[in-house]
Chains A and B, each alone.
Chain A
Amino acid sequence: MGETTVSRGALSRRSFLKGAGAAAGALGLAGAAGMTTAQDWLAPAKAHAEGEERVAYLCHQFHCLSACCLKCTVRDGRLALIEPNDALREEDQRICLRGINEIQHVYAADRIQTPLRRVGERGEGKFEAITWDEAIKAVADAIKESQAKYGDNSFFFRKSTEASSAHGSGYLAALLHAETGGNWGLDRGQANGLDAGCGVGAFRATNNALAEWPLASTIIFLGFNPLESSIAWTKAFFDAKDAGAKIITVDTRFSPTASKSHQWVSVKPGTDAALVIGMVRAIMDEGWYDEEFMKAHTGYPFLIDRATGEVYGVMRDVTDEKTGKVSRKKAPYVWDVATGTARLFDEEGVDPALEGTWEVDGRTLVTEFSALREAYEPYTLEWAGEVSSVDPAVIRGLADDYANRGPAFLCFGLGGPDKYTNADVLGHALVLVTALTGNTGKKGCGTGWYGGGGAFHATSALQSWKLPEEFKASKSQMPMYDMPYNDNNVHVALTFGDAFTLEAADANSMLEWVKGLDFFAICDIYHSSAVDYADIVLPACSKFECDEEVTDLRDAKGYLSLGQKCIDPLFESKTDLEIERLIAAQWGYDQYLPKSHEEYARHRLSKAKGNIEGFTIEKFQANQGVLRYLDSDEPVRSTLKFATDTGRMEPYYEKQIKFGQAFPTYETPNEAYEDNAKRQQYPLVFMQGKSCFRIHAYYSASAWFQEYFGPQVNISPVDAEARGIATGDAVRITNDRGTFVCTALVNNAIQPGTLFMAETTYNHYYPEGFLQNVTNSHRQERCYEMTYGPQIPYNDTLVEIEKA
């Protein structure tokens, strides 16, 4: 049996890629007889004892926001090992199972191998293989015909999260004057409410909290599960724990993050705003607020006219210190204690009263803080407890920990409480507690989403690629998620990655709209959920594949990474950049795009200054593809200068008086609330969130992950028993928007009355339908007037479940 111990580099006794037949099957190829199998596309391994090895370096996924820099060992032209890139400082080296599984995922059966043309009905998934020339011409002809007939904005273009920021230049929308579908509708639920009080963009983290977490005394995660969604961030979590921070997770589900926290607070779905309002009330009642901070840095002492609710102030011209731009802004009055008069808030020597009511010129004036006390009279701790199902004593404890233990964080994620229609109210309530306690702008505290913004500014020092003036995307008619429900001029669509089922809810309505388009083409690596609806499918390659030695220049949290080619593009796939150039060439516009990744990277580095001064392609190549730009471990902290009209944190939103939301007024979610009459038919709240086996739908195709994970819904033992459901049963989930079938897991960690499913898996892995068939697409009307527009309330969904 000597042969069994030959080294790993030697020829396997079995043929390569036996699974190729499965690839053709998954694609449902009508012309499968003529289809080349994966086995033919890959050259056989060389028959020598020691395989030829080399290493290449690149930065992995961006959309889990971990930006892991990887070292990839390639043997005989195949990915053999993926490890952390050891050119980074040891503490910055990271990887998780998602990076490792690319060993299989890159070669998965779901890869789109050649350009395809639809031969069946839309949605049926029947295709024939065609040439690149035929495919590109079909795409360009459809766009040209539509734009000639209906105008520029009849062409919709989008790169979805699965596809963007990899291998491309991203300028096709501008070159072809495309409609891009406006506000995204994702991840900015709380931000709508938070940014109005702190300045636009504040939700991205008021400081660089990952590095700051260990400096905190208390960290509260609101519906945030970073230990599963962003595994590479767990280091900061445990560093904080080691340093003595008390970590509290508020979540409906006993998530992995909840189970590793010091305290888990179980909350009813969609009621997080009531919980935070309860904290506001406790802090006010107990006097746990920071008067000095409130007077100096917030709008709490500002006066409002009791009759109209308007802020009492004068309009004046304000010059922006940086841009020199003059704009007209309201300067509020405060009540000056020393003189007993109303004076402008920023007058020299003013000593503002925090509470009180005064008569001035026939007006009754009251401070914002006093008005808040009055407005929040009904919001007792008992009320908050009843709405959220959290014990009032626990809410009071949360307020105590947040206000009194020292610097504290309130962190939210992208995929929890933000996915209900009342998320803006929650965001606004977060401004209130932050402004009461002063937990911002200093070490070890902050409020918002901590994706690692703050200190990571290298990309802003990179040169952008300039197109001639005339090339601009069309002014958007409406957000993409509105298109199935409102008249619009879109007739033709091209997406890179699946935008239609990942970036919208209520898939039956969305896909019905897609089916009604004159033409839809998709460029994708894998057979994602939207592929079956396309007329033309273009095969993109993964970021491990490239037709030149260098690939993308990317920010990697303190480092810049210049990716290197690991392997040649598999099958007939091409890089996004090459596909963009081929399409642009149909108009003669390829001349405006970078000719190669190297040219693009050289251009972006051409005026490298600041913390990336001296960075060149050659230096990247000499240092395993990475260069560190942070010269200090000290996080960049937010200041106490807020990007609001007054430069202060503003708890009172005058513009939202008409919505009854000048102060955050609790409202129930659109669908997932207790007394909804719909509950009689659809009694369960259907929630989705992240899994360690996915980034959204990405890795659905991984055979390694399929051994652990697939389309599975978690149900509480109580709800399962009532319906005769056991682990492993096929179950049907239904509401009036649609239905789908998946596998049940009976799980104690699930709150009775709710279902939890990890987002998501390509539709063809479900026995029937897929999870977006049931999700809520309600657009919250008042949010159209907010920075980020209505957000898609995926979790604001009621369903019933039964054995299939």
Chain B
Amino acid sequence: MTKLGLAISLDRCIGCQTCANACKMQNSVPMGMQWNRVVTEGCDIMDGAHGTYPDLSRTYLPIACQHCENPACLKVCPTGATYKDEMGRVEINYDNCIGCRMCMAACPYNARSFNWEDPVHDPDFNYGDKDVPVRVKGVAEKCTLCKERTDRGDEPMCVKCCPTKARTFGDLDDPKSAISQLIREKHAYVLLEDKGTKPQVHYFD
């Protein structure tokens, strides 16, 4: 089997938002939405810090769909629009999405966005990968692990563009893959492990 995932080095993440903008471009993510965002952990502003000056620390945390092995969103989807595909990715069949937003309530990672109105693109045309499907008002959307790129054998756009090479993409089922080795060597962990969602996005310091 193939189980695609990501491993992200938090030491190398500099909070530059390149992955977030690469995702927006590739997937034609509309204005006001982000499939992939980089937060400064525990801060209400970007580039904030923990502690009292000058005893400070800072961790940038990139968050998107965790492509869980046991996805909370999938379980609550009443139409089967959310599904786990043969490559281990969590995907959405937009045609089957009825806009109930049960998935959004269920996702502990707040990874999904919803098209409350007709999506606004600026510039107002379908930039991005030509194979990425158009979404309309009333459907949920999120990181697809760049399905269109990874189907072609390419790595996701966030991985390709990351200036510090903080992101590694690959098959978690292959113990020899670079990602599997990294996860072992760096003692990588997942977010909100206690939720039992078994994320396929791993982080290490």
Q: Which residues of A contact B (CB under 8 A)?
A: 1-10, 12-19, 45, 50-51, 53, 75-76, 78-84, 94-97, 100-101, 103-104, 107, 227-228, 231-232, 234-235, 238, 254, 256, 259-260, 264, 266, 692-693, 703-704, 707-709, 716, 727, 745-752
Contact = CB atoms under 8 A, between A and B. Distances in A.
B117 to A, nearest CB: 12
A97 B22 CA distance: 7
A15 B25 CA distance: 19
The 10 A-B residue pairs with the shortest CB-CB distance in the complex, in nearest-first order: A107-B123, A9-B130, A749-B49, A266-B54, A259-B58, A97-B21, A8-B130, A748-B49, A97-B18, A100-B21
A238 B12 contact: yes
Given A17-B124, A708-B46, A81 B129 contact: yes
Nearest to B58: A259
Interface string B13-24: 011111011101
B47 A747 contact: yes
A112 to B, nearest CB: 17
B49 A4 contact: no
Given A7-B131, A95-B161, A96-B16, 7 more contacts: A6-B134, A79-B127, A101-B21, A103-B123, A104-B122, A235-B164, A751-B54
B126 interface: yes
Interface stretch (B26-34, B67-75, B178-186): B26-34
B130 A704 contact: no
Given A82-B25, A83-B160, A228-B16, A4 B123 contact: no
A94 B43 CA distance: 29
B128 interface: yes
Contacts of B32: 707
B125 A254 contact: no
Contact of B58 (A19, A80, A254, A709): A254
Contact of B126 (A8, A18, A748): A8
B124 A16 contact: yes
Interface in B141-172: 157, 160-161, 163-165
Contact of A231 (B14, B124, B160): B14
Nearest to A389: B54
A227 B118 CA distance: 37
Nearest to A1: B95
Contact of A80 (B21, B44, B127): B127
Given A4-B135, A79-B127, A745 B45 contact: yes
A94 B163 contact: yes
Nearest to A105: B123
A719 to B, nearest CB: 11
Nearest to B56: A254
A13 B124 CA distance: 10
A8 B132 contact: yes
A727 B161 contact: no
27 contacts: A1-B94, A2-B95, A4-B95, A5-B95, A7-B131, A12-B124, A19-B123, A95-B22, A100-B21, A100-B161, A103-B123, A104-B122, A107-B123, A231-B14, A234-B164, A254-B56, A256-B14, A256-B15, A259-B49, A259-B57, A259-B58, A704-B24, A704-B122, A708-B46, A745-B45, A748-B43, A750-B53
Contacts of A708: 17, 46
Given A96-B18, A103-B25, A704-B24, A256 B125 contact: no
A103 B32 CA distance: 16
A6 B133 CA distance: 6
B187 interface: no
Contact of B18 (A3, A45, A95): A95
B139 A4 contact: yes
Given A50-B130, A100-B21, A750-B53, A4 B94 contact: yes
A258 to B, nearest CB: 9
Interface residues of B, number: 58
B108 interface: no
Contacts of A4: 94-95, 133-136, 139
A104 B15 contact: no
Contacts of B165: 235, 238
Contacts of B161: 83-84, 95-96, 100
A231 B16 contact: yes
A232 B14 CA distance: 12
Contacts of B20: 97
Contacts of B22: 95, 97, 100
Nearest to A752: B53
Grouping DSSP codes into helix (H, G, I), strand (E, B) and loop, the B interface class, with mixed when no group exceeds half, is loop
Contact of B48 (A95, A228, A748): A748
Contacts of B126: 8-10, 12, 80
B124 A19 contact: yes
Given A97-B16, A260-B14, A749-B47, A104 B54 contact: no
Contacts of B15: 256, 692
Contacts of A75: 130
Contacts of A96: 16, 18, 161, 163
A218 to B, nearest CB: 19
B115 to A, nearest CB: 10
A707 B128 contact: no
A716 B51 CA distance: 12
Contacts of A751: 53-54
Contacts of A80: 126-128, 130
Q: Give the most central of A10, A51, A53, A101: most B CB within 10 Å.
A: A101
B149 to A, nearest CB: 11
A8 B129 contact: yes
A19 B122 CA distance: 8
A101 B47 CA distance: 20
A225 B28 CA distance: 31
A732 to B, nearest CB: 20
B163 A231 contact: yes
Contact of B14 (A50, A82, A227, A693): A227
A756 B131 CA distance: 43
Interface in B2-18: 11-12, 14-18
A750 B12 CA distance: 23
A15 B118 CA distance: 12
B25 A748 contact: no
B47 A256 contact: yes
Given A19-B124, A749-B56, A235 B163 contact: yes
A12 B123 contact: no
A748 B51 contact: yes
Contacts of A7: 130-131, 133
A342 B196 CA distance: 82
A108 B61 CA distance: 29
B21 A748 contact: no
Nearest to B166: A238
Contacts of B164: 234-235, 238
Contacts of A51: 130
